[in-house]
Chain A
Amino acid sequence: EPEVTQTPSHQVTQMGQEVILRCVPISNHLYFYWYRQILGQKVEFLVSFYNNEISEKSEIFDDQFSVERPDGSNFTLKIRSTKLEDSAMYFCASSGGRLNQPQHFGDGTRLSIL
């Protein structure tokens, strides 16, 4: 069964450094998402992406965050100047449609900011 893949599985970074989290969505999906889950808290929406542009973003997704689809397969989340509070699990998801379509999640990247 097709799946969303994410790399790396764990990223440790010094505060203030830039990180790029990578995702390969399911191949025939057109809608891509990033979510995060701080330890012990609920899953929170960050951003959705369709047709090479952001279609929706949350208040968490401020200027330090950006997303890109650099080629036909990868979807990336960049955090420009990391803060301690960015430590979380980051999940990429994809879906075949905008509404009434389930989103399938990758295994996540655990981001630890020191």
Chain B
Amino acid sequence: QKEVEQNSGPLSVPEGAIASLNCTYSDRGSQSFFWYRQYSGKSPELIMSIYSNGDKEDGRFTAQLNKASQYVSLLIRDSQPSDSATYLCAVNGRGNEKLTFGTGTRLTIIP
């Protein structure tokens, strides 16, 4: 059983539009949720963290968390070609230090 699920994509979005990335998780006791960006051949780079229900905004990025639905999302406004990457959803499970990653969603911004 997969613990963190993401649509693998590819997701193609026109430049300047909003990109919406989604993630579901199976452990209802999960406490911390992260979005990482990973360019091809590079390491995961932290984009956003969210710990409580609702929205959290940081520049062009908004993370949304709904613990009742076990759902976390990332919105990227005014998408730029440099946003083209794989976006990884990662979750701290109940009492765990480890991050459990999804397979990632490959996002392509079309100029």
Number of interface residues of A (CB under 8 A): 26
Residue from A45, A104, A106 with most neighbouring chain B CB atoms (10 Å): A45
Q: Does chain B have a CB within 8 A of A102?
A: yes
Given A91-B44, A108-B43: A103 and B99 interface contact (C-beta under 8 Å): yes
Contact size class for B? Answer: 20 to 34
Q: Does chain B have a CB within 8 A of A56?
A: yes
Task: Determine how close the nearest CB of chain B comes to the CB of A75; give it in whole angstroms.
Answer: 15
Contact, CB under 8 Å: A107 / B43: yes
Contact, CB under 8 Å: B103 / A100: no
Closest to A104 in B: B46
Q: Does chain A have a CB within 8 A of B80?
A: no
Given pairs A48-B98, A50-B97, A89-B43, 5 additional interface contacts (CB within 8 A): A45-B98, A48-B97, A103-B99, A105-B44, A105-B46
